[in-house]
A and B are shown apart, each in its own frame.
Chain A
């Protein structure tokens, strides 16, 4: 430790000790949690700070539910939800929301699909009507399907096929899983997107877009009782459907490291993706894994940043973190290798940092940073009605635990050094690891006849 650092540490402690303000306890997010007769779970949290409200409707369906030959379908279906229903024309949904001062979107991942709007408070009926009408009566036509197939294929090109590291990221995900449920990408293959039919849409809608497979969360400037009555009016008549068959997400334990490399013609510097299989977000070890992710790769004070970006200068950026899924997830480590540096050296340096987490417990200072960060995130989440609505709806649909919005902070804050060391040893083993090296294929081409650089 340099003299400057030593002094700095002392000063930091002095500053922390001198802090006059007491840390105020965070107010819990309070909410009502009810079910309509048709099985729709309804969560309402009043907040009269601003004249707005947010709606989130989360459906328990994601790319995990897709069958072979239909990858990308859950997300393609999400796009169909904006193409009209009995009382809403194609595209009228976003036309109305934006023209009346709101904002909206939807998003799909492996485990769930969620739709949301944020609107001025006087548009409560509009928001509820839009969500109810499409849950009740989606318009399923070949034209709409073909049209959104195009948009989704452009999305794939934009995010994946036309970007550096897109293809290797997709391959990395395939390497990480053996069970089809998580092995394929959320965006899906072009071929499978082309194969999707109107019948697929109809049967997917019937099976998964039933009220008993969804949670509706509202947060904002509204009255719980009258809102519930409106919800009953708009959603109450939508019939319940047989519960979808749960998908088997289980994986055989890995017994040897999986490692590949790929040349990417769009990339100019190398990149490392590492993943370690970890349990679902509901597992008792998850908070400790989350803390470990932050200690290893969260920001400039993290071990990886200090070692491989600053001290050794092998990478220009790095990150680490625990994925949150209802099934087997990944603890990810990424690094963008500095131009001219050896990717093998960077790979070895990352492994060294991980080995150190096996050998020695993390420090109290590191755990304190985890706790501060958890508090900061909890504060940030409370500042937006939309974030709260999304968190409540997802926690209900994914974990059957909307109150996770309040308990997760405490669980993260009570992680101990022994917990972190134990999970590092348990999960961050070389034999439990998937590694992808993306090698640059785009170089500086030979100089053209008479370059005029500017």
Chain B
């Protein structure tokens, strides 16, 4: 297929909600590969050595035939995480620097406490504020900013997530000073030009229409509303009304409130020494003082009771896009680790049961996977797949059968060992880029984990038993208590879906239908 950037990939609708990251925009010009459709769910990285003799008892690995003749090393590489150096700037911000001199690039992230979840429901204020910071300063207009970035081969972005307001840049080493100067101009002197806001709103309104043609978006929208109906977490994208109602004054006020350094953290990764970048950051941020806003405390309710089938009628669909899920646990839960192992068995990657059964054995889908979202605000187990319309019922039945199996039957020893080894061994791959090491270090701070959390991760994984796996499966793999979102041709799938529970029907515009 042609290499030109596809129009879909140019979609820059601001993703406003914490669920936004789950939305995968599939363009028509993607590469064609046997596993390309797989969602890659991030696995926590770890390190360990563990000898695991191959199991003796035969296990039914549905969808896979094992001849066991390939030469395999049973050694699991021990990989030591580098730790970032830590210090504090004069204005009180934490600084973490992880040097990596392999390649002449540097990435910097400035994060200050703030939250898009504080926005009034459905609003675009955080997204608009962050976007407009790239579109004008006292001395540069949007075009000059774009041209300068392009000349420097750098990128600068602003973003307000559910926990932090970010300013980030990435640059070639030789352009560090120039990019820092530009970033600080955008961070401290944004002007929020009225004409840029008008254009931005026009673009967003058009893209809010366009995105309604994409089945994955429609499914994500409904699962978010089902999981968190009562607060801002239910909005994957802002409403058109809230985009229209934005004014320049609102953005200026929001910016002034939000971008304040107290409680903030700077992380630096790449080809620069801590002792060289520190004075540069001191100079840049010396006058930046004060407290901004705090992320909200939101309830983390347990699983939703009962079974609901949410049908989004998308006429002319040839597939049904499924999103199955329920609320689970937050990142600090002790169940997090056994749940990682459990999911690796159930739906984490091509060696998992869901993939082997529903794609390889049954041929119902091109890709299928499950995973946990676990943070301060999101706690969900979800399964995502798309199947041809004709097998909507059979495929759903198989998914539920897998859910029932992992809840009802202990995982066989060799399957458990495979899952545990995979989680530990895959860490070696993440050492090519130290971003994982840095992200692990920030997670320790973010969730108040002990300093040796990642050093002991392999032992924690190794300690997980078949009984642990079954326990977390029964607790978090939804079966009777389950939300099923199905996006497809209502006329063809309404009847079969009704066999799985009471149907709540919506149209592709996001409107509830009372009587189908």
Contact = CB atoms under 8 A, between A and B. Distances in A.
A310 B181 contact: no
Interface string A100-129: 111111111100000000101111011001
Contacts of A226: none
Interface stretch (B147-155, B243-251, B296-304): B147-155
Interface residues of B, number: 123
Interface in A370-425: 372-373, 375-376, 379-380, 382-385
A165 B202 contact: no
Interface string B117-155: 000000000000000000000011111111111111100
Contacts of A23: 172, 174
Contact of B63 (A91, A329, A376, A449): A91
Interface stretch (B66-74, B86-94, B400-408, B478-486): B66-74
A58 interface: no
Nearest to A15: B178
Nearest to B141: A4
Contacts of A164: 210, 213-214
Contact of B73 (A122, A306, A334): A122
A260 interface: no
Contact of A336 (B69, B139, B175, B210): B210
B386 A158 contact: yes
A211 interface: no
B10 to A, nearest CB: 3
Nearest to A454: B225
Given A21-B175, A94-B351, A445-B507, A109 B32 contact: yes
Contacts of B424: 101
Given A101-B424, A158-B26, A151 B213 contact: no
Interface string B354-365: 001001110111
A383 B103 contact: yes
A95 B67 CA distance: 12
Interface in A349-385: 365, 368-369, 372-373, 375-376, 379-380, 382-385
A316 B319 CA distance: 28
A4 B139 contact: yes
Contacts of A454: 225, 510, 512
Contact of A155 (B146, B206, B366, B422): B366
A164 to B, nearest CB: 4
Contacts of B28: 159-160, 163, 165-166, 169
Given A51-B77, A383-B433, A451-B511, A92 B174 contact: no
B41 interface: no
Interface stretch (A78-86, A191-199, A242-250): A78-86
B253 interface: no
Contact of A339 (B27, B209, B426): B209
A237 interface: no
B11 to A, nearest CB: 6
Contacts of A322: 3
Contact of B72 (A15, A79, A123, A334): A123
Contacts of A379: 103-105, 172
Nearest to B215: A162
A150 B149 CA distance: 46
A106 B77 contact: no
Contacts of B142: 310
A19 B199 contact: no
B147 A301 contact: yes
A23 B24 CA distance: 37
B510 to A, nearest CB: 7
Nearest to B69: A87
Interface in A254-285: 265-269, 271, 275
Given A122-B73, A125-B73, A269 B209 contact: yes
A140 interface: no
A368 B349 CA distance: 43
Nearest to B105: A379
Contact of B32 (A75, A147, A329, A376): A75
Interface stretch (A6-14, A28-36, A37-45, A202-210): A6-14
Contacts of A166: 28
A135 to B, nearest CB: 14
B1 A372 contact: no
A108 B37 contact: no
A327 interface: no
B103 A126 contact: no
B206 A101 contact: no
14 contacts: A51-B428, A89-B66, A105-B34, A125-B72, A130-B70, A158-B26, A169-B29, A173-B2, A297-B5, A321-B4, A332-B4, A369-B147, A383-B103, A449-B515
Considering the complex of A and B, which 7 residue pairs feature the smallest CB-CB distances, nearest first? A101-B425, A317-B10, A150-B363, A332-B4, A89-B65, A319-B5, A8-B144
Given A5-B144, A338-B203, 12 more contacts: A12-B144, A21-B175, A89-B64, A92-B65, A107-B31, A125-B71, A157-B319, A157-B366, A158-B26, A162-B318, A163-B215, A165-B7
